Amino acid sequence: MAAYRRDLNRYLSWCTARGLTQVVAITANDVSDFAASLRSGSKFGGALSSASAARTVVSVRGFHRFALLEGLTPSDPSCDVQPPSTSRRLPKALDYSDVERLIACAGDVDSPIGLRDRALVEFLYGTGARISEAVTLDIDDIDLVNRTVSVIGKGDKQRKLPLGDYAARAIEAYLIRGRSVFSVKGRGTARVFLNTRGAPLSRQSAWAVLKASAERAELNLGISPHTLRHSFATHLLEGGADVRVVQELLGHASVTTTQIYTLVTADTLKQVYLTSHPRAL
């Protein structure tokens, strides 16, 4: 509410300075000019980020929509003024060497906990699955013979993913020598990843596993479970995978969502070009 009030105060001060003291006098050009001023700044406020500018325009549109509904103006001059597009934040992806370090530091494979933690990290990177998809995975969802796994994604949509050899071996070792140690302490859940009491591993605990692994690997990059998902997608595209294949693997409803990873790959290619081509610089 405070941000909304601040946005409108800025807008009304700007309108007043232009001699627009009545809402009916404001035109679409006036609203467009105000929207354009947000990014450069003015005496009514400093330059705003794209996200803040977009929020301000939305506030202004809400104001004019209210004025129209209340009969204060016969039309809405802001209806065709679009908020400025916000810059897309590129996902953070690890170098493959960092992924290897992360997995190597995930846990001691001679202990049940270490086997579980190694299997979890291998699974997240090997499939690109969301953390929620990992912790809700059941034993029957895994086909180690055919190297596939079925996960339930957003909207309860199921998709079948290939399971790489590294992830398959890590999961098999955990199921045989790790999970059985935990399961005898619980109440017979079918979940794959369990805590030491035999109950399903929570999202928070899975996050803690990854954080501890990153600390042991000395990867101070703010790593989260989604970092491995980003790395999975980026490395596939760098290896030549089609963006629509990556879309299916990630479970994105639209390829537009997946295409943000192509920006990461393009950025990587640019860096390689700048450091490798004799006439790049």
Known catalytic membership, residue 157? no
Helix or strand or coil: residue 82? coil
At residue 200, φ and ψ (nearest 5 deg) are -55, 140
Catalytic choice (154, 157, 185, 244):
154
Q: How many whole angstroms separate alpha carbon 127 and alpha carbon 148?
A: 10
Provide the sign of the torsion angle of the four alpha carbons 266, 233, 156, 225, taken in this order: negative
Known catalytic membership, residue 230? no
Q: How far is CA 86 from CA 50, 72, 91, 210, 259, in A?
A: 5, 32, 15, 30, 16
Known catalytic membership, residue 235? no
User: Structure tokens of 149?
Assistant: 């796994």
Helix or strand or coil: residue 171? helix
User: Structure tokens of 279?
Assistant: 């006439």
Provide the sign of the torsion angle of the four alpha carbons 47, 52, 54, 56, taken in this order: negative
CA 228 vs. chain centroid, Å, equals 11
CA 168 vs. chain centroid, Å, equals 25
Known catalytic membership, residue 61? no
Helix or strand or coil: residue 205? helix
Catalytic choice (10, 61, 118, 130):
130
Q: Can you state the percent helix, strand and coil of the chain, rounding each to 5?
A: 60, 5, 35
Catalytic choice (116, 179, 235, 252):
252
Helix or strand or coil: residue 93? coil
Catalytic choice (191, 229, 230, 235):
229
| In 68-121, beta strands by DSSP E | none
To the nearest 10 degrees (0 to 180), the angle between helices 96-104 and 112-127 is 160
Active site residues: 130, 154, 226, 229, 252, 261
